[in-house]
Chain A
Amino acid sequence: MKYIKKGLYLLLILLLILPLTQLLFPFVELKDLDGHFELASKPTYDLSKFKTGEYQEEFESYLKDSIGFHNFFIRLNNQLNYSLFNKSNASGIVEKNKMLIPESYIRSTLGLDFKGEKKLREYVSRIKVVQDSLQKMGKHFIYLHIPGKASIYPENIPDKFLEKKNDENNYNTLLHLLTEYQIHHIDFYTYLLLKKSQLESQIFANNSVHWSGNTVSVVADTLTNYIRSQFKLNTPSIKRLQGIKTVKDYRYTDYDIAKSMNLFWNIAEDTLYYPKIEFISNNAAKPSFLACGDSFFQSFNGFYPILDSVFSSESKFYYYNRLVDWPKKYKKVGIKANELNIEIEINRTDIVILESTDENIPLFGFGFIDDLYNHFTNNSITDSKSLKKFAELEKVKNRAKTIHKIAGYSYEDMIYSIASSKTKSISKEEFEKLVEQKKLSILKTPKWVARVKKQAIERNITFEENLRLNAEYSAKKSLNL
């Protein structure tokens, strides 16, 4: 009996030593975790850091994140919380009626992030300027509003949020303004609500943030029809054919929240439908677009090759106006949206598309609309000295060498475009605001006022004129322009 107990004790010690052994000599291959997380790195030993306890703290964090079977422990904890307590580990996700919904979409639906009509009107008026300018060039603009999950399924918003509901939300106000300013737009919220009962499966899968593959097939068809009828552009048409129903082989983002929950076993069995899609081309040249939007736009290529098949390969999709996410060749080398010249890109495109979900309305077009507005109104002040300096940098030249062929730019245009992306520029409105602030600062300083007065007499201009000159000088100096 003694030997059995000895064996039992050694088994317990073995249990404790296994994670360290796995860390030092990995012997079991574990599945990676999904989702975004940052792991602590191994600190370098430093006596002064040891004395303050900083080294120990960093080392303990490192060990916690890297210990053998780390991913197993994370999954075990998540699975237990989910199975025993119905608690999801994914941050910012809530659940009701077996549907997982991101809190941020609930906030948007309930108007908790409402920006106010004034700001939204200013935003839409800028869109109007962009649309009109494009129209003069024979080009088109379209705004795509995509509903968040909470607005499609308000019945699944947990009660605790409903108490805080606001009377207005960004979507309602924006939609009203888009109509008022006659902006071309497709309101997929209203459209999908009308279609809700006719669709073969849910608009959003229970366990995903994004709209389902089936929904994408339907709205893509609507989008291409709209482009053909409104803008008279020849796009291939989309034909939806009989597809398959599945309870486990979910595609692309149809299981994205659940995946990021990092469980051992799949949760809830959604029955999702994936139609087959056929693209009917009439051999006419495909239109090109310049689009900016969020991850919902990505799904136009994630489930089916819609972007590849319907639009010209000259088209571009700016993800949050940061990275050129599509075509793939741009993404491969990580070309940033601001590395491309907006004038060249507009000239190359037939349609400019802005896509946004409820949650992203407060980002006011991701800065894309501002860029277009400033371009069309010639409304920006750029530091030309810096521009020249950047254009001469080896780093910039090398980057231009790498990407100019992919972007279809001449080498010189590419250098200028990259250098511009690094040069500070400010819109005229912002510059005016700063000048006004500087004027006030001068007026509050008696010595400075006296100097401006004296200078005005010397320059033979009025005090007001000289005040403006001084304020402009001061504003430019503070911006290093």
Chain B
Amino acid sequence: MQTSPEAFIAILGMALVTIAIKAGGLLLADRLPRQGFAAAWLRHIPGAVLAALVAPALVTGSPAEMIAAIAAGGIYILTRNLFAAMAAGVLAVYLARLLLAS
């Protein structure tokens, strides 16, 4: 259990810039107009960010992730259950990678 002043300052600096950015998004959004283009833009961020988070993980060069995505998406549409979708995705990607690798 030890640290150095350098490590402490580095970690504290990392923590401060991280909270500043996270708080900054909320505070900047508060200054945007509540109607018109800015409001429409804010409304479209969640879907766009989720699509951007997911898409590259599906296009990896191997079809395993695509197969698993179809399994997870299909189970979600059928059950509307996030946990079931997650479990189906994990199981499908595990099996698909196993089968495709051999």
**Are A and B co-members of a single complex?**
no
Residues on A lying within 8 angstroms of B by beta carbon are: none
Residues of B within 8 A of A (CB): none
